[in-house]
Structure 1
Amino acid sequence: MATIFLGTAGVPFSAKKGTTIDGVKAIREMSLNAMEVEFVQGVRMKRETAEETGKVAKELEVRLSVHAPYFINLCSSEEEKVKASKQRILDTADRAEAMGADAIAIHAAFYGKMKPEECYQKVKAEMTDIVDRAREGGIKNVKFGIETMAKETALGTLDEVIGISKEVKGVIPYIDWAHTFARQGGKIDYKEIIERLKRELNLTHINSHFESLKMSKGKYVDVHVPIEAEAPPFKPLAEVLIKEDISISLVCESPELERDALKMRDILKNYGYVIK
């Protein structure tokens, strides 16, 4: 049976205040045990705040991860944008290290004028440099997660994120189950993906997002909707996790945040798994 860390992408709506620390406290009060800290609009958190957040999370046994800013494109044709993207990833990793987070989620690149293979090689080279600079700068524990992406214009197929993770030490796949479902034409085999991550990367922990997606013009698009939309369905993933020997973070990215995270918790409970 998997060890499951379940929580929200960002501060739950029910938190007394909108601070990250209040978010961590609210997570524990709801009998959840994970939270992804959102830097999607920029890294504005002071390092001292990150350290304090980490202390509270450790005391309450809440597992933290962090989402890097959206304004990242390692395959931009403008070198200044690539340079700025790399700095945003490094700044994210610095705060993540300070708060004891295990990984950061990165929307790495758009293909743009490059062929997918060219963009892949560019991201691989830039991520190698980023990880080297991070380790030299004292960021020892944070893993750099390349997120699977729904948009066909973005780097982020399952094969791409696994490939880069194989080739660059310190990089891992950050699996967005719904994005992968959309990228695969509305199909997903949870067991096959988990077994592949274990077999090809020897992963002992999977960082992941879960939400449902809207359908538009006959295909699933990257618009997040509550999980009752069942696209993709959560119950089959819960069934697989009950049988798998793996640790996993399930970060709910539904617009309903904790309401849907609690639904996921109750589904897991129905299968015999109680969040600790």
Structure 2
Amino acid sequence: MVKIYLGPAGVPHSAKKKSTIDGVKTVKELGLNAMEVEFVQGVKMSKETAEEVGRVAKELGVRLSVHAPYFINLCSEEDEKVQASKKRILDTADRAESMGADAIAIHIAFYGKMKPEECYGKIKSELGEVVDSARSNGIKNVKFGVETMAKETAFGSLDEVISISKEIKGVIPYIDWAHTFGRLGGKIDYEEIINRLVKELNLIHINSHFESLIFKNGKYIDEHIPIDNNTPPFEPLARELVKRKDISISLICESPELERDALKMKKVLEDLGYKFE
């Protein structure tokens, strides 16, 4: 049966202290088994702290992933911004490696004035350099997750993230189910997407986010809201997961309700017969 790692994006609201280590401990106390460490406002954690976070997470059986800073754009017209973006990705990967996280999530680029295919070529070149630099600097295990994006101005359609993952070893799709749902105009076929990831990339583990998006002026806006809104619905994904034997998955709840919604997701999975260890 599929192995599911489920938890919040960041320190749970119910944690008494707001440190990452206390967040990991609270995740375990809640009966969850994953947490995404949020570096979205910058990589401010020391390597020593990252190592300690990793020790605690390993001891408690909590799987870690990391979200890179939002201030990344490998298709910027300004080379200074591209170089700063590459450094942020590398710094994120370095701390992720120190804490034993398996992957980092990256909002990789906006098209800007480039055509999508031009931006693709730029990302292939720049991200390829980042991965090569990471490997030569001892970052051996972390995968570089290019996140699917809801905004049509951003690099991150499902086809784009699958394609770039084929081209650069060590790069994977980081599937945000709601972003993908929004990018596809408010529809999603979970089975089809998982089959593509397995068949085209030979993935055995999927890193992903789950939340709901706001529908406004006839389109889905990348503003995260609680999963009760069913944009997209979670239960069809849960049903697809519990019947699979070919993958494991990290489901990181990016709803503003964090652990509340993660626990709702857990109950849906358990009601369908999945047993969390």
Q: Tell me the TM-score range normalised by the shorter chain.
A: over 0.9
Identity %: 74
Does residue 13 of structure 2 align to residue 21 of structure 1? no
The equivalences for 1:49-60 within 5 A come to 49-60=49-60
Deviation at 1:101, TM superposition (A): 0.1
Deviation at 1:176, TM superposition (A): 0.0
Does residue 244 of structure 2 align to residue 244 of structure 1? yes
Q: Which residue matches 1:273?
A: 274
C-alpha contact (below 8 Å) 1:35/1:251 kept by paired residues: yes
Q: Which residue matches 1:10?
A: 10
Q: Which residue matches 2:205?
A: 205
Does residue 93 of structure 2 align to residue 100 of structure 1? no
Code of the aligned partner of 2:257: E
Deviation at 1:32, TM superposition (A): 0.2
Q: Distance in 2 between matches of 1:244 and 1:70?
A: 33
Residue by residue, what CA displacement relative to the aligned partner does 1:59-99 show, whole Å, maximum 9, x if unpaired? 00000000000000000000000000000000000000000
C-alpha contact (below 8 Å) 1:96/1:102 kept by paired residues: yes
Q: Distance in 2 between matches of 1:112 and 1:90?
A: 23
Secondary structure at 1:146's aligned position in 2?
Answer: strand
Q: Which residue matches 1:132?
A: 132
Q: Which residue matches 1:148?
A: 148
C-alpha contact (below 8 Å) 1:210/1:251 kept by paired residues: yes
Code of the aligned partner of 2:79: E
Q: Distance in 1 between matches of 2:275 and 2:122?
A: 43
Deviation at 1:252, TM superposition (A): 0.0
Code of the aligned partner of 2:41: Q
Q: Which residue matches 2:67?
A: 67
Deviation at 1:2, TM superposition (A): 1.3
Q: Distance in 1 between matches of 2:248 and 2:121?
A: 30
C-alpha contact (below 8 Å) 1:6/1:275 kept by paired residues: no
Code of the aligned partner of 1:258: E
Q: Which residue matches 1:43?
A: 43
Secondary structure at 1:17's aligned position in 2?
Answer: coil
Q: Distance in 2 between matches of 1:256 and 1:108?
A: 26
Q: Distance in 1 between matches of 2:77 and 2:244?
A: 42
For structure 1, list consecutive stretches of 5 or more residues without a partner in the other structure: none
The equivalences for 1:153-172 within 5 A come to 153-172=153-172
Residue by residue, what CA displacement relative to the aligned partner does 1:130-183 show, whole Å, maximum 9, x if unpaired? 000000000000000000000000000000000000000000000000000000
| Pairs aligned (count) | 276
Secondary structure at 2:145's aligned position in 1?
Answer: strand
Secondary structure at 1:214's aligned position in 2?
Answer: strand
Q: What RMSD in Å do the two structures reach over aligned CA positions?
A: 0.4
Q: Which residue matches 2:264?
A: 263
Q: Distance in 1 between matches of 2:188 and 2:157?
A: 13
Secondary structure at 1:250's aligned position in 2?
Answer: strand
Q: TM-score under structure 1 normalisation?
A: 1.00
4+ residue runs of structure 1 moved beyond 3 angstroms?
Answer: none
Q: Which residue matches 2:195?
A: 195
Deviation at 1:5, TM superposition (A): 0.1
Q: Distance in 1 between matches of 2:87 and 2:243?
A: 40
Q: Distance in 1 between matches of 2:213 and 2:52?
A: 35
Code of the aligned partner of 1:243: K
